[in-house]
Amino acid sequence: MPTPARPTAATPAATPAATPAATPEAAPITPSAVMPTLHTFFRRELRLAGGVVRRVPAGDRARAAVVVDHVEFVLRALHHHHTVEDDLLWPPLAARVPDELAPVVELMQAQHETVDHLVGELSSLLPAFRRSAGEADRNRIADLLDLLHGHLVEHLDDEEARLLPIADEHLTDAEWDALAEAGRAGTPPREMTLTFGMYQHDGDPAAIAYMLSEAPAPVRWLVPRLARRAFRRHALRVHGTATP
């Protein structure tokens, strides 16, 4: 085996290549880390919803129908999300958290009640707006949507900052799995792909990958593509842009 040439002035000793700095590995995704990705759907769509409603021309029932379909879809998804939490998240936490943390859970429940009241009021007004596209109904619905967005953002901020760390500590893997399964089971099949697209649009890619991690490889490849297409089509119809 030939030996390397001794370094000379003409053949200086080679400088060892710099070793790239180690890239810290991303923290593992926990079940609770998926929740902020789910919340991006509601944050975005309710932030935009009041303006979408206000832009419906008075008397334009065709446009009103498109907008009402969208708002009802968002409210239906939000109500289901909160129902799952009310049924499967609060009870075990209320039973297990130390006394000093119990007020956080109580705050979450009280905020849900406020949000649910506004969702109920909106749901009662939307059918009349679909029929008439009336100006008074339009303005009242738009104002309520803005109010709902404000209350919801306050609730989601509190939940993500104060409650999810508690849930990570006190819920079992089986209980997180039950939450996820209830979320899927309560989503109408015809809305499943669009709902996933709503999460995916602004969601954390790591959380999206985690949500699909137990699916077969073809499903992991196909679902994000179908969901992206469904979201783009829906957003163009409602918002006039594929990237609202």
pLDDT per residue over 15-41, tens digit each? 334 444 444 455 667 889 999 999 999
| 103-121 pLDDT per residue, tens | 888 899 999 999 999 999 9
**Mean pLDDT for the chain?**
89
Where are the strands (E) in the chain, listed by range?
none
Share of the chain above pLDDT 70, in %: 89
Residue 129 has pLDDT above 50, yes or no: yes
Task: Please name the amino acid found at residue 185.
Answer: A
Helix axes 61-88, 192-202, angle to 10 degrees: 80
Q: How far apart are CA 55 and CA 28, in angstroms?
A: 43
For a pLDDT cut of 90, what percent of the chain falls above it? 79
Q: Are 133 and 58 in contact (CB under 8 A)?
A: yes
For the record, the structure tokens of 227 come out as 């969901």
What is the spatial distance between Cα 226 and Cα 57, in angstroms, rounded to a whole number? Answer: 32
Give me 185's structure tokens: 């089971």
- Residue 240 makes CB contacts below 8 A (sequence gap 6+) with none
Name the phi and psi angles at 167, rounded to 5: -65, -40
Q: Point out the least confidently predicted range of 84-88, 150-154, 233-237.
A: 84-88
Q: Which domains does the chain have, with CATH numbers?
A: 33-189 (1.20.120.520)
Give first-to-last CA distance, the chain, whole Å.
65
Helices (H) and strands (E) in the chain, counts: 10, 0
Q: What does the pLDDT read at residue 98?
A: 82
pLDDT band of residue 11 (cuts 50, 70, 90) is: very low
**Alpha carbon of residue 38 to chain centroid:** 2
Q: Which of 123, 163, 166, 116 is nearest to 141 (CA)?
A: 123
Which two structure tokens, joined as six digits, stand for 6?
């001794």
Do 201 and 24 touch, CB atoms closer than 8 A?
no
